[in-house]
Amino acid sequence: MFHSPEYCKTLSLKLSEVLEVVGVNEEIVMKRRRMFVFMESLETILYRSCGGNETAYHFGSQSEGTTTIGLTSDVDTVIVDYDYDVIQDWAEWKQNKINKINLLMIQDENTIPGYCFLQRFRSDEPLFETNIPDENYIRYSKRRVLLRNMFLTTFPLENIERHGPSNAMSGNDGYCDSDIVFAFPCNSRLQSTSQFLERPGAMTWLSPESIRYAASCDCFVVATYPELEWRISTSLAERCLMFNLNITQLQCYVLMKITLKSFFNSVKKNALSSFMCKTVLLHCIENTEQQIWKKENIFTCLSYCLLELHTHVQNGNCPHFIISENNLMAGTFTAEEKRDVLQKICDTIQSDGRFLLRISVDNISKRIQVKLSTIVHVAYNIATSLEIHEVCSSGLLINLMKGIRERILFLFNKLSNEHICNLKQIILKLTYYSVHGSRLEQLASSCLAPFLCSTLGLIMASSSIGQNNPVQNEALKWLTLGLNSDVTSGRLELASMFYCVGIMDRAEFILKQTEIRYNSTVVEPVCGCWSHPWTSRSAEFKKKCSEESENSFNSIASLCVRFLKSEVNCVPRELRYEMMRSTRDDMPQRRLNEREWMNYAIVDSLPYLYFLQYKTYSHLQSHQDQQRALSNLMEVILTGRNFGHRETALNLLGQCMEQEDKPREALQCYMFSLQQRERNNAAKFHICNLVRKYVSNM
């Protein structure tokens, strides 16, 4: 079967070249993996620095590197709470530490393979809890008190929306969405994992290190439906397997998913999942010789995988690769749907590759035609390998920045109003990780700490200003430590503080330096607050992203500037209105991912830079520089791309127009602002104030 005809070898080599071009190559695969492992460290270190015991994991195609731009894969995020310990045997019970809860994994005639119930132990001795501790538990029988999985819905994450037992976080900037689930660790080795490692095929393609890791890594129990049922997840071991695949095997998996998306799921949406494709691929790899998985055989390998998929659909059984008793296809198809899917798989296999010429995802069909064409002038307007590399690199970096901003907002929302001491403790913990942590923990700490330092400095400075005291040197030191959080936001926060205390020469100096740093051909605005319309990033920005390391964002990206209510005295009067943007009728209109950041004053960096310059030069009585700043503010509002808070910039411009004694232009700004955001917009207050002034002067 694997002695391919010459045309199959030619097609396979061309197909492999096409997949490399669209991003399934070793460089992009490794970049995706590094980025998502780094994001795991970043999120985990923030949870731990806040006193939590959670660990974040990113699974699925994005973190494996097995996706393309056209597949638009999401991110599967699992947050594991290590305050719980799931055990499989009474002998594994341990005397509980503070807040540590032992749960017994129960698998009996009432649970299907791969699923379990969780029964709570007492904390003082290895006996089952007989009383119901709280509403998170339910009495299942006289002897059993089981944990309900519904209480995980109360986990304090922002920007999320419930989708069954998981939460969905919308991706901004056209990049990846995120499915978030919550889980508990099971530190004891599953019997199914032991059986998998003892299978003859496991030893032929896994390294000794991978076998040891798969044997020792945690599995998880993940919330699902119904409310007492928990799914056993072996995602860490599965990721280890995927990281052991060669590039041809990864390309074959991606090609399976593209084929699935293009043809098979038209019968029943998502009936055949990417996870089923992955499972089929792993079974095929286990049952074949490793030397078969080469570039010149990729089309034949794909055909073999499709035949294997056909067998699983026909039998109505796709066994989980590790937990083989778990049938992934149980109850998936009706008889009619099954017949249609089998026919589509047969048609695809028997087409001798012609189905590839009908795949529109990532322009696969056009790219193959170009590769196979003997006519030189055949060409299409499709992205080159370099362009795709740059788009992937910039997308990864933007997702990282959004992740940092979301985690920082999560922290601020979690802390109480009196949180200076808490912030100091968190920064100290990050400092500890930056010295004594792993390489990834050190990088994560260096990314997070500047944002927290700026916030701590602003809170301290705002407190001093509110008490009519000079700003303390300690506050200035913290603000200085936050200058390099990104290109602009830390510097603009410091300049804003100097403006509010009347030290205009210092504010002017910082603003000039910030303007120089903001090279508009390279630097791009990034806002992770909400899903706003976006346009393509600049060519220089994408080029820089592809050339530099993943944590180099502080030199090429500009986050929006954010002020908490506890920083209000460091905020110009014109921007404070944004903290009161909502009327009573507006509040219910906030979306899930808007409910917290709308309580802050948030503005895109570049408009705020020119607004602050306008106000500073006004106080310095430098009319020419003031008018230049006003012109720049108007221009960036009209022509600037990818701003997330254009309505706020228009509100600031309107107030500048009021200062210029141009009420008509000011009103136009406020009306344009309302076109950008109809509800929860401070423009309503500005219009009322403008009308009041006009009426009082009549």
Instruction: Please determine, for residue 4, whether its predicted confidence score (pLDDT) is greater than 80.
Output: no
| Closest of 51, 143, 145, 131 to residue 103, by C-alpha | 145
How many Cα atoms sit within 13 Å of 89 on the Cβ side?
7
Least confident of 190-204, 343-357, 657-671, 684-698: 190-204
State whether CATH 3.30.460 applies to domain 31-65+73-244.
Answer: yes
For residue 170, the model assigns a pLDDT of 45
What are the structural domain ranges in the chain? 31-65+73-244, 387-696
pLDDT band at 418 (very low <50, low <70, confident <90, very high): low
For residue 593, the model assigns a pLDDT of 67
Least confident of 77-91, 359-373, 398-412, 555-569: 398-412
Determine the average pLDDT of the residues in 381-395.
91
Instruction: Please determine, for residue 203, whether its predicted confidence score (pLDDT) is greater than 50.
Output: yes
Instruction: Please determine, for residue 89, whether its predicted confidence score (pLDDT) is greater than 90.
Output: no
pLDDT in tens, 545-585: 988 776 677 889 999 999 999 999 999 999 999 998 988 88
Question: Rounded to whole angstroms, how far apart are CA atoms 79 and 58?
Answer: 9
> 635 vs 163, which has greater pLDDT?
635
Q: Over the chain, what is the mean pLDDT?
A: 88
For residue 375, the model assigns a pLDDT of 58
| Closest of 189, 195, 191 to residue 236, by C-alpha | 189
> 381 vs 370, which has greater pLDDT?
370
3-class secondary-structure state, position 56: strand
pLDDT band at 152 (very low <50, low <70, confident <90, very high): low
161 — phi, psi (to 5°)?
-135, 135
Placement of tokens 């038209």 in the chain: 266
For residue 346, the model assigns a pLDDT of 95
pLDDT band at 352 (very low <50, low <70, confident <90, very high): confident
Angle between helices 191-198 and 208-216 (to 10 degrees): 160
Please give the model's pTM, rounded to 2 decimal places. Answer: 0.89
Question: Rounded to whole angstroms, how far apart are CA atoms 555 and 185?
Answer: 38
Least confident of 16-30, 220-234, 637-651, 663-677: 220-234
Contact 1, 299 (CB under 8 A): no
Question: Rounded to whole angstroms, how far apart are CA atoms 655 and 667?
Answer: 9
For residue 198, the model assigns a pLDDT of 81
| Closest of 630, 366, 616 to residue 496, by C-alpha | 616
For residue 594, the model assigns a pLDDT of 73
Buried b (16+ CB within 10 A) or exposed e, 73-92: bbbbbbbbbbebbbbbeeee
pLDDT in tens, 267-308: 677 778 999 999 999 999 999 999 999 999 999 999 999 999
Instruction: Please determine, for residue 638, whether its predicted confidence score (pLDDT) is greater than 60.
Output: yes
For residue 358, the model assigns a pLDDT of 93
Instruction: Please determine, for residue 157, whether its predicted confidence score (pLDDT) is greater than 60.
Output: no
The number of residues in the chain equals 698
Determine the average pLDDT of the residues in 200-212.
80
Instruction: Please determine, for residue 454, whether its predicted confidence score (pLDDT) is greater than 90.
Output: yes
For residue 192, the model assigns a pLDDT of 80
pLDDT band at 391 (very low <50, low <70, confident <90, very high): very high
Alpha helices (runs of H) in 415-503, residue ranges in sequence order: 420-436, 439-466, 473-481, 489-501
Contact 595, 439 (CB under 8 A): no
Determine the average pLDDT of the residues in 640-655.
95
Instruction: Please determine, for residue 417, whether its predicted confidence score (pLDDT) is greater than 70.
Output: no
DSSP string, 83-148: TEEEESSGGG-----TT-EEEEEE-STTS-TTEEEEEEBPSSSSSB--S--STTEEE-SSS-EEE-
Determine the average pLDDT of the residues in 505-518.
97
Determine the average pLDDT of the residues in 340-360.
93
Instruction: Please determine, for residue 506, whether its predicted confidence score (pLDDT) is greater than 90.
Output: yes
Q: How many CB atoms lie within 10 A of CB 624?
A: 8
For residue 169, the model assigns a pLDDT of 47
For residue 176, the model assigns a pLDDT of 53
pLDDT in tens, 104-140: 999 988 888 999 999 999 888 888 988 888 888 998 8
Contact 370, 384 (CB under 8 A): no
pLDDT in tens, 522-551: 999 988 787 776 778 889 999 999 887 766
Least confident of 98-112, 357-371, 400-414: 400-414
Q: What angle do CA 383, 386, 390 make, to 5 degrees?
A: 95
**338-to-60, 273, 313, 314, 324 alpha-carbon distances in Å:** 26, 15, 7, 7, 22
